[in-house]
Structure 1
Amino acid sequence: MTPFISGNQIQLLRNGIEYFPALEAAIEHASHEIYLQTYIYEPDNIGLRIGEALKRAAQRGVTVNVLLDGFGCKNLPSGFVNDLEKAGVKIMFYRPKISPWTLKKSRLRRMHRKVAIIDGKVGFVGGINIIDDYNVPDNTPPRIDYAVRVEGKLLPAILISAHKLWRRISFTHLQANNLLQSYHLKTAQSEPLTPVNLQEKAVPPHKKHNVNAAFVLRDNVLNRRSIENAYLTAIAQAQTEIIIANAYFVPGRRFRKALLAAAKRGVNVKLLLQGRLEYFLMLATHAFYADFLKHSIEIYEYRKGYMHSKVAVIDSQWATVGSSNIDPFSLLLAREANVIVKDKHFATELRTDIMHSIEESAYHVLPEEWSSRHLFKRFLSWLAYGLVRVFVGLIGYSKEQ
């Protein structure tokens, strides 16, 4: 059962335009320690800006720990990393060996979380990597994504998780002794850097403080199915409406059965999915269109730009924002982190934003159109789904963590 904790202030952050100013402001006010975990760190305008804030924090004596995924950050220039480290920022890579020729089953077990926690006083959880919203192919509109800013009694769980993973990777990298010796040391002061001008303003948080929320992890030890089970429990309890906006949607059998059962008992189920294909395996999403449409599940494809969302709202009471897609890679392999919120105001706010995307920028996939016009696409989708199953079969049951 998902452990909800009351006494929280949860602020919805839409896209990088709201997330990055809030994150940067928190970093600038840090006085003790920063943990930052991200799958992708791109040294574009946003990455440089956050990097400067991290360096300034390290130079004034804050312990700054940045954990990056070895695959997601495989193209991060070593010069950028060295520049951060020279300023006192501690950087480690999760599973840096990514060669496809290693044939290790653990290659696709990635650190996909996007988590930050500053001084144990404010935290951020969501799906937004450190990359500019406008850093997208083909000059398309900025990507859609979400995060939450957290204050309150949920923070110790986020801090413990970040600290444990940092220590674990430190040990893996044979850096544990050095970490323990230097943890409380302050980095040498250097000339202050020129502050980067903000182009956006941080959004002030809501005043409501008594929000029930849970921090839910997915890992390969104690929390193998925690995020999936949280979804399934909420879907089973749904009475009127389920709205899921998810970029990479290849649900397993239990998840599909739960959605179909909800639709059969009269729950209005809406899926907002990515309409632009980034790679072939995304076609696996289409494998279930026919069955979903036959049972009155509404499917919308966001085609205006790239949708990176991993959010859901159920009955305008339950909502989740996080890094976990609904596919085997997120639900069975990767390290993920979601925040689940039980609060009508928050859920309604997120629902309104998703519905705006559906009404303004999504294509409604109709049952008759899908059954009559997409025979070849349906064939390719099952081929892609078969390949996904093969990948999961090869690496999903490795004992390596």
Structure 2
Amino acid sequence: MGSPRRSRRRRWASLLGATALAVTAGGALAGPAGAAVNVDFPTHCVPPPFAGLPPIDGTTTARITVDNTSPEVGDTVAVTYTVVTPAANNPTALDLPADIMTPTGLVTLGGAQTGNVTVAGLRSNPPVPGLGAFPSFSMNGTFTVTSPGAITLSPGDYNIHTSYILELDTPCTVINPPAPVSETITAAANPPANTRAISLGSASGAPGAAVAVTGSGFTPGATVTLAGRSGATQTADTASVVANGQGNISSSLVVSDLTTTGVVAYEGSAWNSAVGAGPVAYVVINDQPIPEGSQKLTTAVRAGILSMSQAGDAVTMSTVDVGSGQASTGALNPVTVKDFRGGPAGWSLTGKVTDFSASGGKITADKLSWTPACTTKAGSPSTCQAGSPGVVGSAGATLASTPDATVAGGEFTASAGLSLDVPAFTPAGTYSGILTLTLS
């Protein structure tokens, strides 16, 4: 029979070893999954050396989910690494208490963007019975998209930290990295803002007069087309100029069409607001003599502006109970967009939201989603397109838009159903966030 002291050492070693291999349950809420799938991979877990337990080689089942499967370069993507089935069970007959374990880990990126995303979970787990299966746990993190194309996400190494009697770590590594791909996102290029601009030497001229055109912000060395506009239609009055090494242009355009209302400049084979500037107002003054016995009738159609107005500046969303894990819902106040510019350019209405804050806590901006809707007033040349349902967040999302077109403009009403995913045990309080809309 061994000494009482030796028996206590063995019991403590077993207890510490079992605790070090336990895992957390729950964690932050996972984002909506795209094509995410569970994957299995061999894992090597090493208990603390003095715990008296050998390494455990087992199979981990895990899943990677993201909040946005179609981001743009520059967007921040939230990642959730869920270990569905850990590589090991509780190896002892000892029951393990709740809330003693905190997981951390890595998500491996591949394809168009490589590297690792650091993720971490909460210190929260249910009690684990002796010889019982360890529960699932989740870890969360974010990364910034730096390259366009398909980006793969695979589960990587993870570590289980325990705070029970002693502070211990149990690292679990992928035996044959990288693990299988669990999720793939496709990132789009995010073109830079259009800073092209032009100015005219005169706002009017006789038929056939040349107007000086200067501009900046064009692609150095690019061929730039100068053209007259008659409302939303390009006239036959065109010229071309090559931008210098600083992206500046200086030339002239002979304007003969009596219906001209403006002048534009653009790169490429046809007008596109993304690579163009203008229209800048220009009027052809018809100085032809009036035949005897005739009267000259003249009118003008004045271009308006792109504007928006909203039906209110406050939205009260539904109340949820602590512990319910329900969503707080509401409706965005309708937004009216008026496009009376008379040109070919479309518009985009985007929104972004701050974190929801209260004296008792915070609900992060990525918990707010919306389902956009948009209607077009009869007779409008353009047709409004609603943005895609999904997360609004601090990075923002599109509420509504209209495309560039030969004839563009009109009056539109945009709205959206709102849903705030409130974590189950968010502290009680009144939480407020600011949703900012931008029309461009």
TM-score (norm. length: structure 2)? 0.19
- Greater strand share, structure number: 2
Whose helix proportion is higher, 1 or 2? 1
